[in-house]
Amino acid sequence: MQKPLLADDLNLGTVGLGCMSMSHAYTPAERDDEESILVVQRAIELGIRLFDTADIYGPFTNESLLGRALEGRRDEVVIATKCGLVTEPDGKLSRNGRPEYLRAACDASLRRLRTDVIDLYQLHRVDPEVPLEETWGALAELVTAGKVRALGMSHGTVEELERAHAVFPVSAAQYELSIWADYTREDVLPWCAEHDVDFLAFSPIGRGYLTGKLAVSEFDADDSRSRDPRFTTDAMTDNQIIVDGVRAVAARLDATPAQVAIAWVLAQGERVVPIPGTKKLRWLEENAAAADLKLSDDDLAELDALPTPMGHRRWK
């Protein structure tokens, strides 16, 4: 069995970059491929190494965009992508963990990313129709074949992480983690710490809410936040107390709310890597600077004492 490589050997860096919003989920009118390419290239200059995408983002276009942006810089970065979620003809999402599908999906991702190996290949969702051991075994074969360096899982339960880990080592686990979405601190984070597994934290800024820059308003129908119960008008109004708490800490530290939110995520463990997403250069530079912000025990206690957000739910 080939030993998977990740934290020590691939050097994920302190803060990564989530690329989804460049092509998927958030308001289409704000997308600009050329600016997104500049964001990726500037991220490399700032020392960011981990770039996270998925074949479902677009679908497919986000991987192609990242492949273009990394032309000539491949050896300087860690590419993480995902498989196992499929957009059906009617636009609905389904899960596919069948070995033959995963093999084809990997080959397609390699082509779009313009690379001969994926550093971290993640199962986006567990397919309940296929035994996890069969799915994970097929992914492990991709490591043996040299197409993938390490495996990760997104949104799996601890029981599913255990089952996969027994077949082939899980190198990373990816979940939402932020001041207003901290449910993984109960189970997944301790499991990752115990097993020396890296934890990739997406949406560390609360899908933009914790910056304090989002107005209480309805989102475009194409914006995934329009379907998030935390972003209803009532919820955003009630949750303002959380934003105010983050702002208070930020003002004391001469930092921005986004930087405090990212620093809070970094404080959750040595193997936690926040991957804030952005398609704007100014937010990229602000987010990257959070790597140098250290929160005191008092700061963390103050943030941990903030109330549970209205509309909070564990994402599956």
The residues that are catalytic are 57
**Cα–Cα dist 231/36, whole Å:** 25
- Closest listed residue to residue 84, CA positions, set 150, 12, 28, 156: 156
Tokens read off for 198: 């890296």
Helix, coil or strand: residue 169: coil
Could you tell me which residues come within 8 angstroms of residue 224 by beta carbon, excluding any fewer than 6 positions away?
A: 25, 26
Tell me the one-letter amino acid at 160.
E
**Cα–Cα dist 14/266, whole Å:** 8
- Residue 62 CB-half CA count within 13 A: 28
Tokens read off for 182: 């901290």
Could you tell me which residues come within 8 angstroms of residue 282 by beta carbon, excluding any fewer than 6 positions away?
A: none
Bridge partners for 181 per DSSP: 178
Bridge partners for 153 per DSSP: 123, 173
Bridge partners for 237 per DSSP: none
